[in-house]
Structure 1
Amino acid sequence: MQDRAVTTRHTILTTAAEVIIERGYGGASISQITARAGVAAGAVYFHFRSKEGIAHALLGLDLLEGLPPRRGPALRYWSDLALLMAQRLDNDPKVRAAPYLAALADNHDGWPSPWSAWRATVTRPLHAAKREGELQPHVQPEAVAELLISAWAGMAGHRTPGTAQAQMRTFLDCCLPGIGRPSGLGVS
């Protein structure tokens, strides 16, 4: 895609997420999105066939976007991922809208559900931590990943702007001592 088209697509998605957060999916309209984004309806339909197409794009959220490659302990990488997810909740409406839309996807035929992909993303570093001896023997990576995704989605629904990072630090402070061996603990 050309730079202008990429910028327009990003603007549409960000604006759509803002409108969806404010009005709910059912209350958001293409005309509201285009008016706020300052784009023509044709631009929206060029990139997305419908409002549902916008929702599907928002559901394609890549949790790893912006996370540098792993260096060091896997458990540290996992906690860095959790903090990045929270930072993105605080700063990116597309990320804030994704868990809300994912909850709706569970009840819409044809909507892709991102939950399993999101869980897999946060499970991989936990499996690496287990293989590398960083986790306590009783820890089940899938259960901890489910806990993180649930906490993160709950933070997305929390309407106090700018609080997700602090909430995630508290979550990690409580969680890490129960899952990590003392030598592998630490939050950036």
Structure 2
Amino acid sequence: MARQERAIRTRESILESMASLFIEVGYEAATIAALVERTGLTRGALYFHFPTKESMAHGVLARAVTREGILPQTYKLQEWVDLGLLLAHRLPREPMLRAAVQLSVDPKARTLFGTRWPDWIDLGQDLLVEAKERGELLPHAVPAEIARLAVGAWTGVQLVTEALPEDRALSEEIARLYQLILPNIASIGVLAKLDTSPYRAERLLDSAAVEEPVH
């Protein structure tokens, strides 16, 4: 068991180090030699866990789509908003997520193994379909269209926020994005009850941590 746990920690450490390299220099310029230097592991040890750089990229992308922090809410539309707010809160703090986004917009990487955007769209669409069935969306709102366009808008806001010289918090910018979107898709009764605060994600993660069982 101890050996297995050590292997899991080593694998995680390799992914985190490679994610940092992807962020710093991009997919193509990130090399195994640089990874060896950064981790202190031998090439043999690296290849034991990941046979290629591409497999490491797949490992990073696999961590991108998550419902971490999302708690059941009265309205499914709130859970959909929470999905985007939580990602905005976590992205600047978690290299693995930042690297996954960077790989998704890197043309070279994208041609090799695609992106996780379809998975984010599907996750959002599932919540929006439930919201539609519950009468939380306006009659004209189409879950598939909203999910697809919202992921595109979210990604655009993230890239622009990161590139602008002003010190803007991604959580605040994404909160504004939802404040613009929701009046066009949410039913009047639900709209007034939705929380789009940029601080909501932090509160959700704190609540999720409190609710985790102690082993």
Match of 1:176 in 2: 182
Q: TM-score, normalised by structure 2?
A: 0.77
Secondary structure at the aligned position of 2:26 is classed as helix
The one-character-per-residue Cα deviations of 1:148-188 (angstroms, maximum 9, x if unpaired) are 21133234532578722122111111111111112223124
- Tell me, yes or no, if structure 1 residue 56 matches structure 2 residue 62: no
Post-superposition shift, 1:134? 0.5
Q: Distance in 2 between matches of 1:22 and 1:146?
A: 29
Q: 1:2 to 1:159 in 2, by over 3 A?
A: farther
Q: Distance in 2 between matches of 1:9 and 1:107?
A: 25
| Equivalent residue in structure 2 for 1:137, among 124, 129, 139 | 139
Greater than 6 Å deviation, 4+ residue runs? none
1:11-22 correspondence to structure 2 within 5 Å: 11-22=13-24
Q: Which letter does structure 2 place at the counterpart of 1:143?
A: E
Q: Distance in 2 between matches of 1:162 and 1:20?
A: 23
1:42-121 correspondence to structure 2 within 5 Å: 42-103=44-105, 104=107, 105-108=109-112, 111-121=113-123
Match of 1:127 in 2: 129
Q: Distance in 1 between matches of 2:184 and 2:134?
A: 17
Q: Which letter does structure 2 place at the counterpart of 1:164?
A: L
Q: Size of the alignment, in residue pairs?
A: 186
Post-superposition shift, 1:98? 1.2
Match of 1:10 in 2: 12
Q: Distance in 1 between matches of 2:26 and 2:121?
A: 25
**Higher mean C-alpha deviation, range 139-148 or range 18-27:** 139-148
**Higher mean C-alpha deviation, range 64-73 or range 15-24:** 64-73
Match of 2:43 in 1: 41
Match of 2:150 in 1: 148
**Percent identity over paired residues:** 33
Q: 1:18 to 1:174 in 2, by over 3 A?
A: same
Contact 1:56 1:112 in 2 (8 A): no
Post-superposition shift, 1:131? 0.5
